Structure 1
Amino acid sequence: MKNIVILISGSGSNMAAIVRAAEREGWARRFDARIAAVISNKADAAGLAIARAQGIATEVVAHKDFDTREAFDGALARAIDAQAPTLVVLAGFMRILTPAFVAHYEGRLLNIHPSLLPAFPGLRTHQRAIEAGCRVAGLTVHEVTVELDHGPILAQAAVPVMPDDTADTLAARVLAHEHRVYPQAIAAWLARPAPATPA
């Protein structure tokens, strides 16, 4: 069984969309895959209750309990590895990860970013798109590399920027597309043929 571990920090709306897609599209049957656990760095993350209601194991690894980013990432990796993950999915996980953590999950760590990368990496993406006069915004699903919001692009979707858009209205429209595109990108990743083993 391919175990998927999802990391969240807040409402978990993308996580919930992934869980719904896995059930609706029969990922267990099609890909021999399941959502094994949802882990958050915040005990009050609303998404944890959503996961528990679906019978998914949850865990909290609170970043505030650690003195350094490296110590937190080490504890987080131990919690993830206890699930024997095939894939680790960042779904609104609001932490910058250390190079050692990223290297540990190289090729099996995915993220979704609310812009059409390489445009607008980092924060305030929607406001920055509006201020730049963009006619189109969007989202990107990508493999995580050490460089923030870079890495191989797996999927993108464009969303028009309306003349009266605010950062909040644009964010809401982009999020609706995230809920569709992220599960599709994960399913496509799971459907990849396994790499050949050396003779």
Structure 2
Amino acid sequence: MPKTDGDITKKRILQVAEKLFSEHGFDGTGVDKIAKAAGVNKGSLYYHFKDKNDIIESLFQKIMNEIQDNINLLPKGASQVKEVKIEDKIKSEIQYLNQKKQILSILLMETLKSGQSMDSFIKCMEMVIKKELHFMHEKEKVESLSEEDLQRYMVHEFFTGIMPVISFVTLKDKWCNYFNCDQDKVLEYFMESFIDSHIKSHRL
């Protein structure tokens, strides 16, 4: 389906917002600045987004969708996504997130603050985890989960799966600079630890 003018405007606003948030931070980037840089008036911006928190939430959801699209590009020899090795999938996620580490740092800092903006990150993570859960397991199996089992699964995925990857991406460069170590080696060590601490502990 061809994109409408509204779709193009919304995409441009998100691209500009990502750049400005990365350069100036969330607090240092106002709606006026985003609208001006995107070449739209504030009325047009508010037509697509209710406020600045909505922009950063939409931006994070866009990043998550792009990760999924990137993973869905099947490597040679795989006939479906489920055949992709988990190690290759994680490395693909990390490779993509490396391009977004500035905005990820902003999102992470906003989550640690008190206030409404912290909900955006958690909300997006909930959607990502549930989407992945439905993709990896039969619908009937997912729907039969109790509320307690679902919450246990989500806690496991968030705190032992998603957060370690995001922490690695956002802090890897600082770690390597501080210890003067090779980035490829650090990635290798991280993958070993991640597989032991997260992948091997799946119970569902």
Greater gyration radius: 2
User: Larger relative CO (CA 8 A, sep 6+): 1 or 2?
Assistant: 1
Q: TM-score range by the shorter chain?
A: under 0.3
Which structure features the higher share of helix residues? 2
TM normalised by structure 1 equals 0.28
Which structure features the higher share of strand residues? 1
